[in-house]
A and B are shown apart, each in its own frame.
Chain A
Amino acid sequence: MRPRSLRHVTFTLGAALTLALVATAALSLVYTPADPLAMSIPGRLQAPSGDHPFGTDQFGRDILSRIMTGAVTSIAVGLIAVGIGAGGGILLGLVGGWTGGWVDETLMRLVDAVQGFPAILAALLFTAVFAPGMVVSMVAIGIAFVPAFARLTRGRVLELREREFVVAARALGGRDGRLVVRHILPNALPPLIVQATTSFPVAILAEAALAYLGLGTQPPHPSWGLMLREAQNFLSFNPWFAVFPGGAIALTVLGLNLLGDGLRDLLDPRTA
């Protein structure tokens, strides 16, 4: 008998695609069919062939190798951005929900204000004063995630703080910090894990969009969004140049979305 998770088509398909992404990224650290940065002007803008299965870009660089290396960028930016969003949001949600009163009210208004800055806008703001790059991408995307994590955490804290086990722990003399860390946070985690899973593909899309706009990863470092930016000028010469990086983003995001949906169904069957 297969485990329940493997019988869930959405979860299994999502997990397989995600595993393929991680494997590609890991493989690119030790092997790529060609050097992703090596230029070859005579071999520029080639269509897919045996030597270059995904063709070459405007500098003759192997697109497959660059897509493989770009997977590392996407995963790194996605993970760190979700980490920033989750860290900041959980902290704000815990403090606001546990403290209540004017502290909660003030923090929630701050969260409302941050919601006015989607990743693109936050990146525009940061790039005006700092050099564009992966760090700006991670911070901008992470900040955009803070409101969702903060609201979710606060909601769970408000619900949990009235529960008997928390009231009992408090009656036994438990201090605020200990109550929050030992009793509230572990019980608030499951929906936050689902939120992190569903935020990850959004982060990858945002990273690609920022790199496309020139606000994220900078050349010559491979990034899927950046490759699409470069491909736009050569659409009529080599359309494949735009198709493969975009396909890589779409497949990755599809896999992660399916994984997130499957995980949510498995953790909370009521939503299935």
Chain B
Amino acid sequence: MRRYVARRVAALVATLFFVSALVFVVIRVLPGDPAALIMGTEGSREATERLRESMGLNRPLPVQYLEWLGGALRGDLGRSIQYDLPVGELILTRLPVTLPLALLAATFMVAVAVPLGLYAATHHRRAGDYLAMVVSQLGISIPQFWSGLLLILLFSVTLGWVRSGGFDGWSAGLWPALRSLLLPAVALGLFQAAVLVRATRSAVLDVLREDYVRTARAKGVSERLVVGKHTFRNALIPIVTVAGLQLGQLMAGAIVLESVFALPGLGRLALGAISARDLPVVQGVTLFVASGIVVINFVVDLAYGFLDPRIRYE
């Protein structure tokens, strides 16, 4: 087991190195001169040169990369040009919106998808199964931001139950904050739930076909025990894997939903930074989110090894 973990950690370090290199190449190398890009056509030559100097762009690229990487490892992601604040600090102020949104959506996803997938599998090729599959097929086909707009149309414009967007912060109280995140979390979780329903159904169906399930039934074990104890627990491994991998997708989806519901999260920070040509913020946010997704994938990979010992020996 120790060797398996060590191998996975080495792979994680290599992957994170590539993530940082990709972000650096796109932001610092592809534009040619990032200082000119930031200053735009309105910047004077002197001002551009000063910016180039302050950003350390006159040094060789490998040196720039190592300095930037060293800073990132210490939590220093540079300074925002637009806000004149450390990028790390800006990310930390926006994280309390994006992270709870993704977590709420994940909770909704699991709460809806797992029971529905389990029901569909245990009612295989019956009306309930077909209905669950039709619902999940529709869920996969509806874009998250359109679900968001339809939810606003129904609950805000037509019924007037909730605001159409905005977020007053956690200091305004737990319930007002949660209420602001509820609709976007549902819109975000709906699509992922549709994916997870299919994965859950397929995993449970696979286990239901196993010999030990047939044996349990032949021994007269009640259907509830067969499904709850023998089937569901064994089907959990692929379900946990798919759900874990979807967490990364939820982080990315949150960026879109923040725009629909005007939530001041990481996505809106990055979009605002693009308009303001604030390259350090875009660089910091993309590095942070991409690294987060890679780490989530690593944890899922590791959990898979713990849950299914066969994986460790492959």
Q: Which residues of A contact B (CB under 8 A)?
A: 106, 109-110, 112-121, 124-130, 201, 205, 208-209, 212-215, 225, 228, 231-232, 235-236, 239, 242-243, 246, 249-251, 253-254, 257-258
Bound Cα distance from A30 to B68, whole angstroms: 53
8 Å CB contact of A214 from B22, B164, B271: B271
Q: Which residues of B contact A (CB under 8 A)?
A: 11, 14-19, 21-23, 26-27, 30-31, 34, 37, 137-138, 140-146, 149-150, 152-153, 157, 164, 248-249, 252-253, 255-256, 259-260, 267, 270-271, 273-274, 277, 279, 282-283, 285-286, 289-291, 293-294, 297
B293–A209 CB distance below 8 A: no
With A125-B26, A209-B144 as given contacts, are A112 and B15 in contact (CB-CB < 8 Å)? yes
Bound Cα distance from A86 to B48, whole angstroms: 40
B273–A209 CB distance below 8 A: no
A212–B256 CB distance below 8 A: yes
Bound Cα distance from A113 to B21, whole angstroms: 10
Q: Which DSSP category, helix, strand, loop or mixed, fits chain B's interface? A: helix
- Give the interface centre of A130, A213, A225 by most chain B CB atoms within 10 Å: A213
29 contacts between A and B (CB under 8 A): A106-B14, A112-B294, A113-B15, A113-B21, A116-B19, A116-B248, A116-B294, A120-B267, A121-B255, A124-B285, A125-B286, A126-B26, A128-B27, A128-B277, A129-B26, A213-B259, A215-B274, A228-B145, A235-B164, A236-B157, A242-B149, A243-B150, A246-B142, A246-B146, A246-B149, A249-B142, A249-B146, A250-B138, A257-B137
- Give the interface centre of A112, A118, A128, A232 by most chain B CB atoms within 10 Å: A128
Contacts of B253 in A (CB 8 A): 120
8 Å CB contact of B19 from A113, A128, A215, A253: A113
- Give the interface centre of B14, B144, B277 by most chain A CB atoms within 10 Å: B14
Give the Cβ gap from A142 to chain B, nearest Cβ, in Å.
Answer: 14
Contacts of A239 in B (CB 8 A): 153, 157
Bound Cα distance from A245 to B155, whole angstroms: 20
A127–B274 CB distance below 8 A: yes
Chain A-chain B contacts (Cβ-Cβ < 8 Å), number: 146
Contacts of B157 in A (CB 8 A): 235-236, 239
Contacts of B141 in A (CB 8 A): 201, 250-251, 253-254, 257
Give the Cβ gap from B69 to chain A, nearest Cβ, in Å.
Answer: 14
Contacts of B27 in A (CB 8 A): 125, 128-129
Bound Cα distance from A171 to B233, whole angstroms: 48
Bound Cα distance from A242 to B145, whole angstroms: 11
Contacts of B18 in A (CB 8 A): 109-110, 112-114
Bound Cα distance from A113 to B11, whole angstroms: 10
A128–B282 CB distance below 8 A: yes
A205–B143 CB distance below 8 A: yes
A257–B140 CB distance below 8 A: yes
Bound Cα distance from A253 to B73, whole angstroms: 41
With A115-B297, A125-B282, A129-B30 as given contacts, are A208 and B143 in contact (CB-CB < 8 Å)? yes
A113–B22 CB distance below 8 A: yes
B290–A231 CB distance below 8 A: no
Bound Cα distance from A258 to B133, whole angstroms: 11
B138–A124 CB distance below 8 A: no
A254–B252 CB distance below 8 A: no
Q: 16 more A-B contacts (CB under 8 A) besides A212-B145, A235-B152?
A: A109-B15, A109-B18, A117-B293, A118-B248, A118-B252, A120-B255, A125-B26, A128-B273, A129-B27, A129-B37, A209-B144, A213-B256, A232-B260, A246-B149, A253-B141, A254-B137
Q: Which partner residue on chain A sits nearest B255 by CB separation?
A: A120
Contacts of A130 in B (CB 8 A): 30
A250–B143 CB distance below 8 A: yes
Contacts of B291 in A (CB 8 A): 116
With A112-B297, A115-B297, A212-B256 as given contacts, are A128 and B279 in contact (CB-CB < 8 Å)? yes
Q: Which partner residue on chain A sits nearest B262 by CB separation?
A: A232
A209–B274 CB distance below 8 A: no
Bound Cα distance from A125 to B29, whole angstroms: 12
Bound Cα distance from A109 to B297, whole angstroms: 12
Q: Which partner residue on chain B sits nearest A242 by CB separation?
A: B149
Bound Cα distance from A120 to B252, whole angstroms: 6
Contacts of A212 in B (CB 8 A): 145, 256, 259
Bound Cα distance from A213 to B31, whole angstroms: 22
